[in-house]
Structures are given as structure tokens and as C-alpha cells.
Amino acid sequence: MTKPTCEDTLVVKKRDLKNDYYSLVLAPFSQAKSIQPGQFVHIRLPSTDIYFRRAFSVASVSPVKEEVEIIFKVFGRGTKILGKLCKGNSLDLLGPLGVPFSFPNKKERAVIVAGGVGFPPLMFLAEKMIEKGHNPKQIEFFYGGRSKAELVELSRLKKMGIKLHLSTDDGSAGTKGLVIGPVEQYLKKHLKEKIKLFGCGPEKMLKAVDELGLKYDIKGQLAIEALMPCGVGICLGCVVPLKAGGFARVCCDGPVFEIGVVNIAC
Amino acid sequence: MPADLKCKIAGVEFANPIMTASGCAGYGEELAQIYPLSNLGALVTKSISLKVRPGHPPPRTVETPGGLLNAIGLANVGIDRFLKEKVPFLEKQKTKVIVNVAGSTIDEYVEVCSRLNDCSCADMIELNISCPNVNEGGIEFGTSPKLTEKTVAAARKVFKRPIIAKLAPNVTSIAEIANAAEQGGADALSIINSVIGTAVDIDSWQPLLTNINGGLTGPAIKPIALAMVSSVYRKCNLPIIGIGGITDYKDVIEYLLYGATAVQVGTALFVDPSAPLKIVKDLKKYLKEKKLKSVTELIGKVRR
């Protein structure tokens, strides 16, 4: 695993993805090339009011330009500050941190389940898989949100040539209802194929993906979100209970866990 | 000539006065991935108890203005696994190691201390008689002068190298507890452990920590800790290790001026694991600017 480093970076690009979603590209970060999908960076906010860092999964990297992209939705105090940053502002990054997704082998079909703000690390996963030679048609990307406006970066996902399945709670785009419905239908139809599941999103969705994996005996991984004071494994503040008993640290035993391991609360 | 950062507590010499606070650096493994631990004056381990402790169910932490409320619940591997799994790593580190010890009975403290006496890697032990977020033990020992003296004396009998008592701020007179620790045979004092606090969710009306109460740490508690260090320095003879909200070199200087010989950096490590390196660098610069030869020249020099 790459040693995490702490570096001052600059916002080199900011995009307003609408509906409070933003993309920030930060550079130069010397470890950009070694960041793997599922890993995160811990960001120190340029604010005297907020002491602790905020963890953001990486949405993409440009190794040559030493760039790291994060995508987030303005939700609380921290993201509010990030959303107001402009090109040229500086940000202190600590990373890469956490256990990344393990890539499925090329014969396996990847069923990716993204819920709302959970999509960035999965988009990164799909992108890296294709880069490594995975057939994009073997990537089924289920992306769910409350409404059409909550589904962002759609043209970027479409360009990747993956099979995109959209769903929204209100039916304004794709299938009406929770993302998990179409996922289960798909799994049922393809039970004979070699499939690997990947998920990131709200806890309820993660729990449902975990249950599907166990129900149909499909292996896979889930990226879990937690408030992390340190992000490097020393504070023990971000733990989640394990089904086998005891706790695991989301920051360094995860954030990516195998299906069936974490007792997901919701 | 560069300023001398060395300091000595109970005969143990430290390369610099910057230590990690217990519970804020695990057993050193994670920090060692980021920088060599030889940069630290000492590594203070997570509290070690007789048995494994899984810790409290989450949520365990809440961010507060300038601070962190935590109720980790003394999660640790227990003395057996500590000796087997963590000590081989710690022995290879070129820094002093202070093992923090917690117990729910005096016998438990004694057993852990006695096992550590045979472990040469533990240069000193720090008795946690002040953890605010476990129901049994911890703080009960550190809020009564009698129990403080008794616990320290019991550990003193079985641990032959220096003993530090880590004191709680949640008491009427910390100087009284400090004197009791000295009576019991402590060689130094760590001041302070976290301050009891709590927080509630205004929508669900539920406490934000599963344990309800937690220990407040971070910059928010620095003035409280400083006042306690100052009070104990004037009323007790033992060397003091100052703890509470230290983020940069300026905080360290304040603690030294009020009488601390060394300090521990805790919550700041969560924000910047490399904080001790920056502090050491800036401290050297400060000493040079003030034309001081040794960091020890600052101890207790506040002009009242």
C-alpha cells in the first residue's frame, strides 16, 4: 500500500453539476497516480470553525497532471465551505487512504449499484476497469437518485460505453422506485453468469445490496461511509459493527468491505 | 549551535518534549507508515487493559466547536495480545515508549503493570486513572485522593521503572489528587485527561453518543488544561506532562511556561498526523529567535 502523504493542493478546476453537486479537481498531489477506486482523501477545510478533516472518495485521477477529482453534494457545514471554493484556492489533502475495491476478473460481469452521492468511487471503478481491459458492455451500472436532477454526470457515464440503468424515486428518469428493484430483477435473470456486485450509497441501499448478495450467493464489495476524525486508523472513531462480532474501522479496514461482513445499521 | 530540545523526566531522557497522547496514536503502527517515530519524544500507547476491550458501539465521536467528544470505550487488544503483537513492532522503534495502563480494579492495574515490568520496551508506564467514558474503573480511581494513592502505590510495587499518573480534570482540586499520586509513588503527572461532556440531536432528541457522555478533547479544552497544569506546578513537586488541545508550537510554549516539562499531542494528530514534526521544527526556530540554548529554560517561566 502507498504511504499516505499530506500535501497542499490547488483547486485547478471547479464544475457546478447543478442541484448542489460540485466537482473539484485538485492538483498537484504527488500520490495521484497511486490512488485506486474506493480510496479516499481526507481534506482539511480552509475554515477556522471546522477543526476536523472531511473524507471524500476519489472520483477520478489524472496521473500525468497529478490531479485528483472529488464530487460532492453540499449537505452540511463542511461541504458548504467546499462548494464555495474557487479555482486557485488551496486545500490540504491527506491520502491516499483506505482499502480500494478489488477489480473483478475480465470474465466476470460487474453489477455496480450507485445511490445518490455514492456514485463517484463507482464511476472511478468502472473507468479503471475499462482502462485495464474490461469490456464496458460487461459493466451494468445501476444509478438511483430521488429525481432526475439528483443524477449527475450522466453524459460522462454514457460516454464510457457501460450499460447504464437509471432509476428515480419520483420516476422523472429511468425506472420509478428504488435502485434495488431493477438490480434484483437483473440478478434473477442472470443467475447463471459470473457476477460481482459493487455498491456505494445510503445505508438502506447498502443493506439491500448486502442482502441481495447473500440471497443469490453473489460475491461483491460495498464502500461504506462514516464520519472519520482521523482517517488513518488511530482514533477508532469511525467503527462499524461486524456480523461476526466486534468492530472494524471504516477508514483503514475499509471503506470497502466484502458483502456479508459488516452489520449495516439503518 | 542549534537549540537543545532534549528533556528528562524521572531519569528518562527524551529527544524532544513532544509525545503522542494515549488513544491518539494507537500502538504506533499507523503513524510509522507516515514518518519515523524517532521524530517523537515518546510514543504513548493506547490504554492497555487486562482483557481485550472491543469498545463502545458507534457513534463514538461527535465534532464540537474546536473539539471532539469521544466515547471510544478504551477499545484495546488487552495485555496478552499487546505483548505478543504490538511489542515486537515497538521494540524496533527508535523512540521512547510509554505504555498507558487502564483497569477496572486495582488488581487489574497490578497485573498489567507487573507484566509490563518484564517488558523492557516499556520505558515508563502512564496510569490511566481518569478515563471519563467507561462505567467501571477509569475515572473512579482518579477522582478520589485515597484511591489515587492506593492505585499508584499498588502499581509502584510491581513496576520498577518510572510511573506517570494521568489525572482527570473532572475534580474539585486537581492539586490534591496530584499530591495523592506523589504520595503513592508516582514519578510524574500527565495533566489532563479529557473533560466530561455530552451532546444531543435536536431532531431525534437522542444523545449523539451511544455512551451518552464522552470525553471532550481538542483546542476547546486548552485553557482548562493550562490552568490545571499551572495549579499543580505550584502545589506539587512532580514533573508535569501537559495535555489538552495542543495543535502547534505556540501551545507547547504556553504549557512549558506554566510548568510542564513535556507535552502530549492528541486530537491534533487526527487532523494532521505529522503535527509533532511541525511542532519540533517551529520550536527550534522559536528557541533560536529567543536566544535560548535549551527548551528546558522555558519550564515554569511564566511572569506572574
Interchain CB distance below 8 Å, A236 and B65: no
Query: Å from A5 to nearest chain B CA?
Result: 7
| Same domain as A156, residue A92 | no
| A159: containing domain | 109-258
- B206/A contact by beta carbon, under 8 A: no
Residue of A nearest to B63 (CA): A52
Q: Which of A6, A235, A237 sits opposite B272 (nearest CB)?
A: A6
| Same domain as A66, residue A135 | no
Label residue A178 exposed, middle or buried (CB < 10 Å: 0-12, 13-18, 19+): middle
Q: Note whether B257 and B301 are within 8 A (CB).
A: yes
Amino acid at B216: L
| A228 pLDDT above the threshold of 90 | yes
CA–CA distance, B140 with B132 (Å, rounded to integer): 9
Interchain CB distance below 8 Å, A235 and B218: no
pLDDT of residue B65: 92
Query: Å from A47 to nearest chain B CA?
Result: 11
> Which of B7, B24, B131, B236 does the annotation list as catalytic?
B131
- B203/A contact by beta carbon, under 8 A: no
Which chain A positions have a beta carbon within 8 Å of B270's beta carbon? 52-53, 229-231, 234-235, 237
* HSE, side-chain direction, 13 A CA sphere, residue B84: 5
Q: Which of A53, A239, A246 sits opposite B271 (nearest CB)?
A: A53
B203-213 confidence digits (pLDDT tens): 999 999 999 99
Residue A263 lies in a domain: no
The mean pLDDT of B58-81, rounded to a whole number, is: 95
| Same domain as A145, residue A43 | no
Residue of B nearest to A55 (CA): B271
pLDDT band per the 50, 70, 90 thresholds, residue B3: confident
Interchain CB distance below 8 Å, B270 and A229: yes
Give the global pTM.
0.93
| Same domain as A122, residue A42 | no
| B278 pLDDT above the threshold of 70 | yes
| B201 pLDDT above the threshold of 70 | yes
pLDDT of residue A265: 81
| A1 pLDDT above the threshold of 70 | no
pLDDT of residue B133: 63
pLDDT of residue B270: 96
pLDDT band per the 50, 70, 90 thresholds, residue B134: low
| B132 pLDDT above the threshold of 70 | no
Which chain A positions have a beta carbon within 8 Å of B272's beta carbon? 6, 44, 94
Q: Closest Cα to residue B256, out of B201, B296, B285? A: B296
Which chain A positions have a beta carbon within 8 Å of B30's beta carbon? 232-234, 252
| Same domain as A79, residue A175 | no
Interchain CB distance below 8 Å, B273 and A247: no
Amino acid at A140: E
pLDDT of residue A41: 98
Work out the mean pLDDT of chain A and round it to a whole number: 95
| Same domain as A230, residue A197 | yes
Q: Closest Cα to residue B302, out of B212, B224, B207, B233? A: B233
Which chain A positions have a beta carbon within 8 Å of B25's beta carbon? 234
pLDDT of residue B137: 55
pLDDT of residue B136: 56
Interchain CB distance below 8 Å, A241 and B57: yes
* ipTM entry: 0.91
| B2 pLDDT above the threshold of 80 | no
Q: Which of B26, B63, B67 sits opposite A233 (nearest CB)?
A: B26
Q: Which of A63, A97, A131 is at the close of a domain? A: A97
**Among A31, A49, A97, A230, which would you mutate to test the B interface (most chain B Cβ atoms within 10 Å of its Cβ)?**
A230
pLDDT of residue B141: 80
| Same domain as A159, residue A71 | no
Angle at B174 between CA B169 and CA B178, to 5 degrees: 120
Query: Å from B70 to nearest chain A CA?
Result: 7
Output the domain CATH number for residue A171: 3.40.50.80
pLDDT band per the 50, 70, 90 thresholds, residue B255: very high
B121 is catalytic: no
- B24/A contact by beta carbon, under 8 A: yes
Beta-strand relationship, A21-27 and A5-18: antiparallel
| B125 pLDDT above the threshold of 80 | yes
Which chain B positions have a beta carbon within 8 Å of A236's beta carbon? 23, 26, 55, 60, 72, 75
Domain ranges of chain B: 7-55+75-195+217-298
Interchain CB distance below 8 Å, B272 and A44: yes
Residue length of chain B: 304
Q: Which of A4, A53, A247 sits opposite B54 (nearest CB)?
A: A247
pLDDT of residue A49: 83
CA–CA distance, A147 with A144 (Å, rounded to integer): 8
Q: Which of B33, B55, B219 sits opposite A3 (nearest CB)?
A: B33
Strand blocks (E) in B171-235: 188-191, 195-198, 213-217
Residue A265 lies in a domain: no
Q: Note whether A42 and A55 are within 8 A (CB).
A: yes
Output the domain CATH number for residue A42: 2.40.30.10
Residue A170 lies in a domain: yes
Residues with Cβ < 8 Å from B276, sequence gap 6 or more? B18, B20, B39, B40, B265, B269
A109-139 confidence digits (pLDDT tens): 999 999 999 999 999 999 999 999 999 999 9
* HSE, side-chain direction, 13 A CA sphere, residue B210: 13
A22-37 confidence digits (pLDDT tens): 999 999 999 999 999 9
Residue of A nearest to B32 (CA): A3
B145-172 confidence digits (pLDDT tens): 999 999 999 999 999 999 999 999 999 9
Which chain B positions have a beta carbon within 8 Å of A231's beta carbon? 270
Q: Which of A50, A65, A97 is at the close of a domain? A: A97
Interchain CB distance below 8 Å, B58 and A252: no
| Same domain as A134, residue A172 | yes
| Same domain as A136, residue A60 | no
The mean pLDDT of A222-237, rounded to a whole number, is: 95
pLDDT of residue B91: 96
Domain count, chain A: 2
The mean pLDDT of B224-233, rounded to a whole number, is: 98
| Same domain as A133, residue A39 | no
Work out the mean pLDDT of chain B and round it to a whole number: 95
CATH code for residues B7-55+75-195+217-298: 3.20.20.70
| Same domain as A161, residue A235 | yes
The mean pLDDT of A70-75, rounded to a whole number, is: 96
Interchain CB distance below 8 Å, B58 and A241: yes
| Same domain as A79, residue A144 | no
pLDDT band per the 50, 70, 90 thresholds, residue B138: low
Residue length of chain A: 266
Residue corresponding to grid cell 456486485: A197
Which chain A positions have a beta carbon within 8 Å of B68's beta carbon? 51-52, 229, 237
The mean pLDDT of B56-81, rounded to a whole number, is: 95
- Cβ within 8 Å of A, B 53-72: 54-55, 57-61, 63, 65-68, 70, 72
**Among B27, B30, B68, B277, which would you mutate to test the A interface (most chain A Cβ atoms within 10 Å of its Cβ)?**
B30
